Amino acid sequence: MFYSYPMLHIPDGFLSTIVAVIGWVIAIVVIGIALSKTRGQLGEKQIPLMGVLAAFIFAAQALNFPVAGGTSGHMLGATLAAVIMGPWAAVLIMTSVIGLQALLFQDGGLIVLGFNIVNMGIIGAFIGHLTFQMIRRVMGEGRTSLIVAGAVGAWVSVILGAVATAIELGVSGTSPLNIALPAMAGVHALIGIGEALITVGALVFISRTRPDLLKTGETAPGKTSAAWIGVGLAIALALTMISPLASPAPDGLERVAEDAGFLDAAQSAPYEILPNYTVPFIQDGTLTTIAAVALGTLAVFGIAYSIGRLNSRKVTS
C-alpha cells in the first residue's frame, strides 16, 4: 500500500497560499517557455520517446526502496529525461508525470502543484542536465564519465529539489528553515544515492542498446525506432508488475514532516479517483496496485505523447 505524500510531493496545507501562487506562476512561465523551445526539436521520432520516458519514470516512481532510519525513497527521473531529451523537453515530461499523479492519484496537492512541478520537474531537469554536461566536458565522452556524470547529476537534482522544498516550507511558516533544511537535505542525501544508481543503470543500458540517444547536447535525440519505443514501453509496464513490492515506509518529506511535527497540516484531496494508487472496485491488494500503476503508466504515456504531438503541429501549421 502506498502512503499519501511520497518523495518531494508536497500535499496541500504545507505551503501558504501566497507561496503556492508563486509556485504556479513560475511553473506556468517555464512550461510555456518549454513548449516554445521544443517546437523546433520534436519530430515524428522524438514524440513517442517523450511518452516512453514519461511512462518509465511514472512506473519507476511507484517502486519505493528502503533507506536508513525506516524511510524509503523512489526515483525522481528528471535527470534521466533531461540527458536523453534535453532539459526543456524533460520539463514537459516531468509535468505530465507530476500532474497526472496529483489529478488522478491524489499524490501531492492541487494548490501546491506548481511548486511540485518546480521542485521535481524544473529544478531536477535543469540542475541534473547542467551537472551532467559539466562533468562530461571535463571527463570526456567515455563510459566512466557517463557513469560519474549521471550519478552526480541525479544525486544533485534530488538534493537541490529537497533544499527548495525546505525553503518553501520555511517561507510558508510550516517549519523553521533551520529545522526543515538540514532534515530535508540529510534524508534526501541518502535517497539521492538510490536515484543515482537507477539513473546510471538506465543510462548504461541505453548506451549499450541505443547510444545515439545520448548524443543530444541541448536538443532532443534525432533517431528512435518503433521497436525501441515498444521495448521501452514494455519495460515500463513490466515495472508495474512489481509495484506491490514497494517499501511501505514513509518517504523523505513525510518522514521529515512527522519528525518535525507538521504532518497534521496536510490536507486531504477534495476528491478521490485512484487514491493511494488503488482501483476502488478491485479488492485484492496486489492486483489493485498493479492495475492502478499500469493505468497511470499508459495514461502518462498518452499525455506526454499528446503534448509532443500537439506542440509539433504548431510548427507545420
Q: Tell me the residue type at 188.
A: H
234 backbone dihedrals φ, ψ, rounded to 5°: -65, -40
Low-confidence ranges of the chain (pLDDT < 70): 1-7, 44, 215-226, 313-317
| pLDDT of 4 | 43
- pLDDT 10s digits, 117-163: 999 999 999 999 999 999 999 998 889 999 999 999 999 999 999 99
pLDDT in tens, 71-130: 877 889 999 999 999 999 999 999 999 999 999 998 999 999 999 999 999 999 999 999
pLDDT for 224 equals 55
* pTM confidence score: 0.91
Class of domain 17-316: mainly alpha
* Distance in angstroms (rounded) separating the CA atoms of residues 280 and 309: 32
Alpha-carbon distance of 146 to 153, in angstroms, equals: 10
pLDDT at 225: 59
pLDDT of residue 317: 40
Residue 10: the pLDDT is: 94
Domain boundaries, the chain: 17-316
Q: How far apart are CA 257 and CA 4, in angstroms?
A: 12
Distance (Å, whole) CA 257 – CA 250: 10
Place of cell 518549454: 34
DSSP string over 201-240? HHHHHHHHH-GGGG--TTS--S---HHHHHHHHHHHHHHH
List, in order, residues 6 or more apart from 167 with CB less than 8 Å away: 177, 181
User: Which residue, among 216, 276, 287, 249, has the nearest Cα to 49 in the 3D structure?
Assistant: 216
Q: How many CA atoms lie within 13 A of 51 on its CB side?
A: 24
pLDDT given for residue 189 in this prediction? 92
pLDDT of residue 313: 64
